[in-house]
Chain A
């Protein structure tokens, strides 16, 4: 029993131990050079997480699409088709890189890079385990939301730079949709911040040691889930890239690896948003002790990602006026109501506990 407990403890702190060992190689473990090395290692780990997540999620998405329609999904390459994404990525790399003649070339080329860089920046503040946030920011949520809202700008750049009417139409839709849904998303997170009294994601996870916030804030979780779907431009809110209406929206003119970068960015953003949901509402790395903290975190993230994909392959696309109606007339009042109720709850709690 003792040895098993020791083993679990070691597994739980595996990455911290590795980090301490690397720091121990330096004469002064907290010198500038040690910090720089650790920062570079953290950066590489986050990039690996983004790329791996995209590779796995693209396949998972196709598998789930298959299962919901009683097919098996990709099943040719590798065991049960699990290597399909690698073949797809290789195919994308081999494709011709076309820039339209009348495109705004600089903006056209820089837009996919911005989209791809955003999930790396947002995933850097998420705590993957106890003390395992690559960057421990005090304004973690604030930073996360600020960075993820830049993707609106990248969509607009892609749409404008392509010099194509469908691209621009899709980009306009992206701006309208993402700016609208940012507000309920923020307000739904505000309830959690009010309870935990902190913007720091690590502190928020620690505050959920006894009870995850999904039980205290069920309404906020539902609002968060809907607004996150809309933020990520995924079905049923995929008006930005609605194939039947605007070809592929801002991605219409992109080919090869640039288009692949958009895809990587989309799935990276999805991972980041699901990670935020798991951190804020499901208790992040907190969980029964028989699994290490980071395993719990990725399990919870996976559950939210599965929910998002499940919704995508169930619901038809929402109409654009209904989309705006939902954001401004349903989600926004509900999220404000949630803030009011949370405030009342905190007041009553303090009154009863005599704080």
Chain B
């Protein structure tokens, strides 16, 4: 019948109209991310044994860490841990390489900064910051 398609189209839009919205009210309501999202990195300083495996595994050499030897326990102690996140792929290879699960991928996604220098993360300072917030 002529004009059937028009009515069908009206029906479809009406169904959309009364159906649920798919809008996410982002700043007010945080979205539910898929479980496998990799968007940020976090370091647990106490677990880290300064083996440098993460820096070796990193394809873009994002990770730079320094350590010093504790004279009493004869173990390496982490001095600094820097990531240049501007070059980071969030591929997670560092977490796979890490033998003690000290560096992990997190789902924190609000990583925007105003200056390029803000992308040079001091992971130890960030870990302390999250501890304070928690």
Contacts and interface: CB of A to CB of B under 8 A. Distances in A.
B132 interface: no
Nearest to A330: B2
Contact of A67 (B12, B16, B25): B16
B23 A68 contact: no
B23 A311 contact: no
A313 B10 CA distance: 9
A315 to B, nearest CB: 6
Contacts of A315: 6, 9
Interface in B11-62: 12-14, 16-23, 25
Interface in A48-87: 64, 66-72, 75
B9 A70 contact: no
B10 A314 contact: yes
A66 B20 CA distance: 11
A310 interface: yes
Main DSSP-derived SS at the A contact region: loop
Q: Which of B6, B10, B13 has the most CB of A within 10 A?
A: B13
A70 B13 contact: no
A314 B21 contact: no
A230 B43 CA distance: 65
A75 B22 CA distance: 14
B13 A313 contact: yes
Contacts of B6: 315
B3 to A, nearest CB: 9
Contacts of A314: 9-10, 12-13
B9 to A, nearest CB: 5
A310 B10 contact: yes
B42 to A, nearest CB: 34
- State which size class the interface on B falls in: 10 to 19
Contacts of B17: 64, 67-68, 310
A315 B12 CA distance: 11
A70 B23 contact: yes
A59 to B, nearest CB: 16
A72 B23 contact: yes
A292 B53 CA distance: 80
A315 B17 CA distance: 15
Contacts of A72: 21, 23
A72 to B, nearest CB: 5
Nearest to A313: B13
Contacts of A68: 13, 16-17
Contacts of A66: 21
A105 B19 CA distance: 49
Interface in B72-87: none
Contacts of B20: 70
Contact of A70 (B10, B14, B16, B25): B16
Contacts of A311: 10
A67 B20 CA distance: 9
A168 B76 CA distance: 80
A27 to B, nearest CB: 56
A314 B13 CA distance: 6
Contacts of A64: 17
Contacts of A75: 25
A310 B14 contact: yes
Interface string A301-320: 00000000011011100000
Interface of A: 64, 66-72, 75, 310-311, 313-315
Interface of B: 6, 9-10, 12-14, 16-23, 25
8 contacts: A67-B16, A69-B16, A70-B19, A70-B23, A71-B22, A72-B21, A314-B10, A314-B12
Interface pairs A-B: 9 shortest CB-CB: A67-B17, A314-B13, A68-B13, A70-B22, A314-B9, A72-B23, A71-B23, A72-B21, A68-B16
